[in-house]
Structure 1
Amino acid sequence: MIPLIRLDQSQLGAVIALHHDMLAELAPGMAATETDQFFTDHLDACGQIFGAFSGDRLMAYCILGIPRKEDPNFGIDHGLSPDQFDQVAHIDGAAVDPAWRGQGWQRRMINHRLDIAKNLGRSITLSTVAPANSASLFNMISTGLTIRGLIQKFGGDRFLMRRDIAPAADQKTPPSTNQAQPPAIWCDSTDLVTCQKLLDDGYIGQYCQYSAPHSVPRIGWVAGR
Structure 2
Amino acid sequence: MEILYQGTLLNQATHSYEDVQVQTLNDQHRSQILQVQQHVVEHLQVKESLQSLTLEEFEHVFNEGGLMIGAFVGEQLIAFRALLFPGDDPENLGRDLGLSVAKQQKVVHQELTCVLPDYRGNGLQNQLAQLIMKKFSKLQLPYRYLCCTVFPTNVPSVKDKFKQAMLIAKIKEKYSGKMRYIFFKDLEQSALLDRKTIKAVPIADYEQQKVLLQEGFYGFDTEEENGETTILFAKPSTGEEV
Secondary structure of 2:49's partner? coil
Q: If the length of structure 2 is used for normalisation, what is the TM-score? A: 0.80
Runs of 4+ in 1 over 4 A off after TM superposition: none
Using the alignment, how far apart are the partners of 2:99 and 2:129 within structure 1? 22
Greater share of strand:
2
The structure whose Rg is larger is 2
Using the alignment, how far apart are the partners of 1:9 and 1:216 within structure 2? 42
Using the alignment, how far apart are the partners of 2:23 and 2:143 within structure 1? 20
The question of 1:164 aligning with 2:186 is answered yes
Deviates more, 1:77-86 or 1:109-118: 109-118
Using the alignment, how far apart are the partners of 1:188 and 1:45 within structure 2? 40
Is 1:91–1:113's contact at 8 Å kept on the other side of the alignment?
Answer: no
2:116 to 97, 103, 110: 97
State the superposition RMSD in angstroms: 2.3
Using the alignment, how far apart are the partners of 2:198 and 2:211 within structure 1? 15
- Provide the residue aligned with 1:178 in structure 2: none
The question of 1:192 aligning with 2:211 is answered no
Is 2:87–2:107's contact at 8 Å kept on the other side of the alignment?
Answer: no
- Provide the residue aligned with 1:5 in structure 2: 23
Q: Closer, same or farther in 2 for the Cα pair 1:141/1:148, shift >3 Å?
A: same
Give structure 1 stretches of 5+ with no counterpart.
Answer: 176-180
2:141 to 117, 120, 135: 120
Aligned amino acid, residue 25 of structure 1: H
Is 2:21–2:73's contact at 8 Å kept on the other side of the alignment?
Answer: no
Is 1:147–1:160's contact at 8 Å kept on the other side of the alignment?
Answer: yes
Secondary structure of 1:11's partner? helix
Using the alignment, how far apart are the partners of 1:163 and 1:39 within structure 2? 24
Give structure 2 stretches of 5+ with no counterpart.
Answer: 1-6, 8-19
CA distances 1:74-123 after superposition (whole Å, capped 9, x unpaired):
11111100011221111011111112111111112222333344332311
Q: Closer, same or farther in 2 for the Cα pair 1:209/1:44, shift >3 Å?
A: farther
1:219 to 204, 227, 231: 231
Using the alignment, how far apart are the partners of 2:182 and 2:52 within structure 1? 18
Q: Where do residues 1-225 of structure 1 align in structure 2 (5 Å cutoff)? A: 1=7, 2-26=20-44, 27-69=46-88, 72-118=91-137, 119-155=140-176, 156-166=178-188, 183-210=197-224, 217-224=229-236, 225=241
Report the count of equivalent residues: 213
Is 2:167–2:218's contact at 8 Å kept on the other side of the alignment?
Answer: yes
Using the alignment, how far apart are the partners of 1:209 and 1:42 within structure 2? 35
Is 1:138–1:217's contact at 8 Å kept on the other side of the alignment?
Answer: no
CA distances 1:193-213 after superposition (whole Å, capped 9, x unpaired):
1111111111000111348xx
